């Protein structure tokens, strides 16, 4: 039997995205809690001047949370419901399954993304083609987060393990790196370490596109940030392709 990609993707998106939202709309509020918690904290500590950086960081964190959510849901489907075994036995391929799951997680992020996009127009000062720069950065980050979440999910044996890994990923990728603040706030000798995180490059693009960087985002700098972020996405995609345990051994 041939695989029907689009119907399969839509079925997964409906099952893990639209159906849970229809049954429990509180899921929408849950997706807003973490980004807005950081935004509120920045406002308390730094005042109104910190809000634009909070908005830029909220965009990055909302997209990155797709990966951590994907990790939890796929582990649940694999270990508790044995749904992945049924998918493996069906004509549906791993790429189709992951695409459907990733898009279903994106459904949950739509409200948060909508709010932060509106806030970015209120508090940001978009440079020329800034919207396209932000969109490209977030798409590349979404690919990275999806590949990371899928790879981790295939190795986890219990959904409770995701509760341990998700906070570590959040701290390592959104709290320590300069996502909610400019990179020049980091002590110069330690600054190269910040660039080990893909979120630093994504945040550089978003902050530059919103006109928040001390120096304007140049074409050369934008291409460099985009190229490195693309490299991160490709590397994680290849790791997911080669190392993810799609079938039980």
Q: Which residues does 142 contact at the CB level (< 8 Å), separation at least 6?
A: 63, 66, 102, 106
* pTM exceeding 0.85: yes
What proportion of the chain, given as a percentage, has pLDDT over 70? 96
Helices 26-46/94-123 angle, 10° precision: 40
pLDDT band of residue 204 (cuts 50, 70, 90) is very high
Q: What local confidence, expressed as pLDDT, does residue 1 receive?
A: 60
Answer yes or no: is pLDDT of 2 > 80: no
pLDDT tens string 66-123: 877 888 888 888 888 888 888 888 888 888 888 899 899 888 888 888 889 999 989 8
Owner of token pair 């970015």: 120
Answer yes or no: is pLDDT of 12 > 60: yes
What's the CA gap between 175 and 177, in Å, rounded?
Answer: 6
Highest mean pLDDT among 35-39, 46-50, 169-173, 200-204: 200-204
What element of type H or E holds 135? helix 130-155
Residues 26-42: what's their mean pLDDT? 77
Q: What local confidence, expressed as pLDDT, does residue 247 receive?
A: 62
By the 8 A CB rule, do 55 and 120 touch? yes
* End-to-end CA separation in angstroms for the chain: 24
Q: Which residues does 84 contact at the CB level (< 8 Å), separation at least 6?
A: 74, 77, 78, 97
What's the CA gap between 68 and 63, in Å, rounded?
Answer: 10
Answer yes or no: is pLDDT of 52 > 80: yes
Q: What local confidence, expressed as pLDDT, does residue 141 receive?
A: 92
What's the CA gap between 64 and 32, in Å, rounded?
Answer: 13
Owner of token pair 């950065």: 137
Answer yes or no: is pLDDT of 249 > 50: no
Answer yes or no: is pLDDT of 200 > 90: yes
Residues 206-235: what's their mean pLDDT? 88
């Amino acid at each position: 039997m041939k695989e029907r990609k689009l119907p399969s993707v839509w079925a997964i998106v409906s099952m893990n995205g639209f159906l849970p939202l229809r049954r429990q709309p509180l899921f929408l509020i849950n997706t807003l809690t973490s980004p807005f918690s950081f935004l509120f904290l920045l406002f308390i500590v730094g005042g109104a001047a910190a809000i634009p950086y909070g908005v830029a960081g909220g965009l990055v964190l909302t997209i990155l949370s797709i990966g951590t959510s994907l990790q939890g849901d796929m582990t649940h489907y694999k270990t508790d419901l044995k749904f992945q075994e049924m998918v493996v036995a069906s004509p549906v391929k791993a790429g189709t399954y992951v695409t459907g799951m990733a898009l279903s997680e994106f459904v949950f992020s739509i409200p948060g993304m909508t709010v932060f996009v509106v806030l970015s127009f209120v508090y940001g000062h978009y440079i020329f083609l800034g919207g396209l720069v932000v969109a490209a950065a977030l798409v590349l980050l979404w690919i990275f987060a999806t590949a990371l979440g899928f790879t981790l999910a295939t190795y986890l044996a219990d959904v409770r393990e995701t509760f341990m890994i998700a906070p570590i990923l959040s701290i390592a990728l959104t709290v320590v790196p300069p996502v909610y603040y400019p990179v020049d706030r980091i002590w110069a000798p330690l600054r190269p370490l910040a660039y080990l995180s893909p979120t630093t490059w994504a945040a550089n693009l978003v902050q530059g596109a919103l006109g928040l960087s001390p120096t304007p985002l140049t074409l050369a700098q934008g291409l460099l940030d985009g190229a490195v972020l693309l490299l991160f996405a490709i590397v994680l995609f290849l790791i997911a392709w080669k190392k993810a345990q799609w079938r039980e051994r």
